[in-house]
Amino acid sequence: MFAHVLSVIIFLPIIAGLLLLATPASRNIARFTGMIVSLAALVLSLDLYMGFQSTGHLEFVENIPWIASLGVSYALGVDGISLFILMAGSVLLPMVYFVFATKEKGYYANLLIVQGAMAGAVCAADMILFYIFWEVMLLPVFFMLGLYGGPKRLPATLKITLYTIAGSLLMLAAIVYLGVSYHAQFNEWSFALDKMAQLNLSGRVAAVAFFGFMIAFAIKIPLFPFHTWLPDAYTEAPTATTFVLSAIMAKIGVYGVIRFVVPVFDQEFARFAVLLAYSGVIGMMYCGIAAITQKDFKRMLAFSSASHMGIIALGVFCMNVQALTGSIYQIVAHATSTGVLFLFAGILEERTQTRTISDLGGIAAKAPVFALYFAIAMLASVGLPGTSGFIGEFMIILGAVKFNTAVGVLAGTTLIIGVCYMLWMFQRVFFEKATPKSENFKDFSLIEGLAFLPVIILIIVMGVYPQPFLSKITPSTALQFASAAPVVAQAASATNAHLPELTIEQK
């Protein structure tokens, strides 16, 4: 373990990606570079994970003054919340290089850049630094979607880019506002996260700044009703991009809410939490119901992903430790289940040359290993106990019931909604009789099978024995409620007006 491990995890892929773009490397060299660099990042992250102390505070801190006159610093650090998002990225991304062997050089290079940028956004402990990584994240997505996407990629690219940039600009304005208020209150410039948390904000301007942040994150998550870019983008994007978008990038939106909004805008957050929670739960139902009538399985998965993100976001808004922890756990679980489902969908599309559900059938009989993997990932995504999906979902519903009974009951319907569209799709694609397109479907090769195996095992291990993971998360989430946001804790105990009895027994 060395001092600047986070910087290396961030910049190694970015530099490798830029070098690939700058040199006339062949696609094979690009792929192997990607493989090696992402595996190196994985090794470093695992090392980081082992060395993580679960203190609840930021660890592996790096802090170098950058723009001293404005108090901007190059500050990095991870805690239990960011660690898991970082890990999800590091664990999942190497798979892509193994599975997709015949893509362009730029495809692999952009993947590397986005990996580094996402790591940077997750580790940043300074708002300006975060903002920079946040914007850098979008660029590779823009190129990958625009260059390698499906036939209708251009409108989708425009939509996602404009949508996210509009959100980011609002956030930038809010960040500047925060910096200026900090200067006004403490007479020094700083954008450091821990200092921002000391800000005492109130009034209408603070609410506007709060929504500046919230809208930026809501677009990225995406939270209802800011999700309309998602179906097009997820459907048209090349598989790896969809995977990156759904498995990790969306999570950084949730992470942003936890990391930046809750500590800084504790009062506004407590005030608007019910509204946001409803937005999450309505989004979950809306997208879940829309998923059932999709004819294109990638689009269906896109809606399903949006539906799950609704419930993950809900966990953050419920303002209790179970829901928040469940939310973070579900972030990883969702990355491993729905993220992997997108990869499977990509494989399905490559081998059958179609994305239409009704063109397929009988794949379970043709490709038992593929079907098994798919089924496990699918069951995790519908939250079956014994898979990673259950733990998080259960805790979120539990927390939601405490937060607001109506929200809790609505959140519970995810159990039904999820299973409806997933089973329907599974039936049509994997069961029934084989169609001409799926008749010669080839099962996984050995390499593919082995590449996905760790994730499949992870899904089951995270469902059967989650406590080692949770014990790394809980100190940070508990701290979030103990010291950082007393207002939130206070507000949470007073929210449930429906069933006041529920709060009596609670310590």
Under rule CB under 8 A, residue 52 binds another protein:
no
Return the SS3 of 356: strand
**Is there binding between residue 278 and another protein (CB under 8 A)?**
no
Q: Kindly identify the residues of this chain, within the stretch 318-347, that bind another protein according to CB under 8 A.
A: 320-322, 325-326
Decide if residue 395 touches another protein (CB under 8 A).
Answer: yes
In the bound complex, what is the minimum distance in angstroms from residue 117's beta carbon to another protein?
26
For 499, phi then psi, to 5°, come to -130, 80
Residue number with CB closer to another protein (34 or 222): 222
H helices within 292-413, ranges in order? 297-317, 321-352, 363-366, 368-381, 388-403, 405-412
Closer to another protein at the Cβ: 353 or 467? 467
C-alpha 58/C-alpha 77 separation (Å) is: 5
Based on the shown chain and the rule CB under 8 A, indicate whether residue 317 belongs to the binding site for another protein.
no
Compute the half-sphere exposure of residue 148: CA atoms within 13 Å on the CB side of its CA.
19
Residue with smaller CB distance to another protein, 192 or 328? 328
Contact 399/323 with Cβ under 8 angstroms?
yes
- Which residue in the set 53, 185, 427, 490 belongs to the binding site for another protein (CB under 8 A)? 427
Min CB(76)–another protein separation in Å: 27
Buried b (16+ CB within 10 A) or exposed e, 159-187: bbbebbbebbebbbebbbbbbebbeeeee
Judged by CB under 8 A, the chain residues 192 through 211 that form the site for another protein are none
- What residues between 127 and 186 interact with another protein by CB under 8 A? 159, 163
Half-sphere exposure at residue 267, Cβ-oriented, CA atoms within 13 angstroms: 12
Among 25, 478, 484, 487, binds another protein (CB under 8 A): 478
Closest of 438, 418, 442 to residue 428, by C-alpha: 438
Q: Alpha-carbon distance 480 to 474, whole Å?
A: 10
Contact 376, 387 (CB under 8 A): yes
Q: Structure tokens of 259?
A: 């990391």
| CB-CB neighbours of 40 under 10 Å | 17
What x/- string results for residues 430 through 449 when contact with another protein is judged by CB under 8 A? xxxx---------x------
Measured distance CA(438)–CA(297) in Å, rounded: 14
Between CA 208 and CA 321 the distance in angstroms is 27
**81, 327 in Cβ contact below 8 A?**
no
Cβ nearer to another protein, comparing 68 with 446: 446
Nearer to another protein, 10 or 380 (CB): 380
- Contact with another protein (CB under 8 A): which of 251, 259, 402, 472? 402
User: CB atoms < 10 A from the CB of 147, how many?
Assistant: 14
Residues in 356-375 that interact with another protein by CB under 8 A = 362, 364-365, 368-369, 372
291 near another protein, rule: CB under 8 A? yes
* Closer Cβ to another protein, 65 or 225, answer by number: 225
Residue of the chain from 258, 290, 311, 380 that contacts another protein (CB under 8 A): 290
**Stretch 294-313: interaction string toward another protein, x if CB under 8 A:** x--------x----------
Tell the smallest beta-carbon distance from residue 68 to another protein (Å): 32
End-to-end CA distance of the chain: 40
Residue among 94 and 408 whose Cβ is closer to another protein: 408
Of the candidates 412, 441, 479, 480, which one interacts with another protein according to CB under 8 A? 412
- Count of residues binding another protein (CB under 8 A)? 71
Q: Give the residue, chosen from 423, 461, 484, 487, that forms a contact with another protein under the rule CB under 8 A.
A: 423
Q: From residue 356, how far is each of 155, 156, 299 by CA, in Å?
A: 21, 19, 10
Q: How far is the CB of 427 from another protein (least distance, A)?
A: 5
Instruction: Report the residue from 136, 420, 461, 484 that binds another protein according to the rule CB under 8 A.
Output: 420
With the CA atoms of 172, 135, 381 and 318 taken in that order, what torsion angle do they form, in degrees rounded to the nearest 10? -10
Q: Binding to another protein (CB under 8 A): which residues in 79-108?
A: none
- For the CB of residue 321, give the shortest distance to another protein in the complex, in Å: 4
Ranges within 215-244 binding another protein (CB under 8 A): 224-225, 227-228, 231
| Of 37, 29, 46, 47, nearest in space to 10 by CA | 37
Which residues between 458 and 477 bind another protein (CB under 8 A)?
A: 464-467, 470-471, 474, 477
Q: Which of 61, 176, 197, 289 binds another protein (CB under 8 A)?
A: 289
